[in-house]
Amino acid sequence: MKMYINGQWIDKAETIPVFNPFDQSLLDTVPRGTAADVELAVTSAVRGAVAMGKLTSFERYSILRRTADIMAERAEDLGQTITKEEGKVIAEGRGEVQRAIQTITGSAEEAKRLHGETVPLDAAPGNVNQFGFTIRVPVGVVAAIAPFNFPLNLVCHKVGPAIAAGNAVVLKPAGDTPLSALKLTEILLEAGLPEEAIQCVTGPGGEIGDTLTGDPRIRKITFTGSMEVGDRICRNAGIKRVTMELGSNSPLIIMSDADIEKVAAATVASGFANAGQVCISTQRVLADRRIYADFLDALAPATEAFNTGNPLDDSVRMGPMIRASDADRVGQWISEAVGQGARVLVGGDHEGTMHAPTVVVDTKPDMKVSREELFGPAVAVSSFNDIDDALSMANDSRFGLSAGIFTQNIDWAMRFAREVQSGNLHINSSPQWRADLMPYGGLKDSGMGKEGPSYAVHEMTELKMVVFHL
Task: Give the rounded distance of the alpha carbon of 124 from its chain centre.
Answer: 44
- φ, ψ of residue 304 in degrees (nearest 5): -60, -30
Q: Is 117 a residue of the active site?
A: no
Tell me which residue of 171, 381, 166 sits closest to 267, measured CA to CA. 381
- CB atoms under 10 Å from CB of 413, counted, come to 17
Q: How far apart (Å, rounded) are the C-alpha atoms in residues 220 and 279?
A: 22
Work out whether the CA dihedral 144, 148, 149, 155 comes out positive or negative.
positive
The terminus-to-terminus CA distance of the chain in angstroms comes to: 59
Question: Residues 268, 359: contact at Cβ < 8 Å?
Answer: no
Q: Is 279 a residue of the active site?
A: yes
- CB atoms under 10 Å from CB of 125, counted, come to 6
Q: Beta-strand (E) ranges in 225-269?
A: 241-245, 251-254
Active-site option among 85, 156, 279, 373: 279
Q: How far apart (Å, rounded) are the C-alpha atoms in residues 9 and 55?
A: 24
- CB atoms under 10 Å from CB of 159, counted, come to 30
Strand partners, 4: 9, 200
Strand partners, 440: 451
Q: Let me know the angle formed at the C-alpha of 140 by 138 and 146, rounded to the nearest 5 degrees.
A: 100
Task: Give the rounded distance of the alpha carbon of 27 from its chain centre.
Answer: 24
Give 3-state DSSP helix, strand, coil % of the chain, rounded to 5: 40, 25, 35
Active-site option among 92, 96, 196, 245: 245
Amino acid identity, position 220: K
Question: Residues 406, 258: contact at Cβ < 8 Å?
Answer: yes
Q: Beta-strand (E) ranges in 83-235?
A: 118-119, 130-138, 141-145, 168-172, 198-200, 220-224
Q: Rounded to a whole number, what is the largest CA-CA distance in the chain?
A: 76
Tell me which residue of 165, 185, 193 sits closest to 65, measured CA to CA. 193
**H or E stretch covering 336:** helix 324-339
**H or E stretch covering 463:** strand 461-469
Question: Residues 139, 218: contact at Cβ < 8 Å?
Answer: no
Q: How far apart (Å, rounded) are the C-alpha atoms in residues 73 and 18?
A: 25
Annotated active-site positions, please? Answer: 245, 279
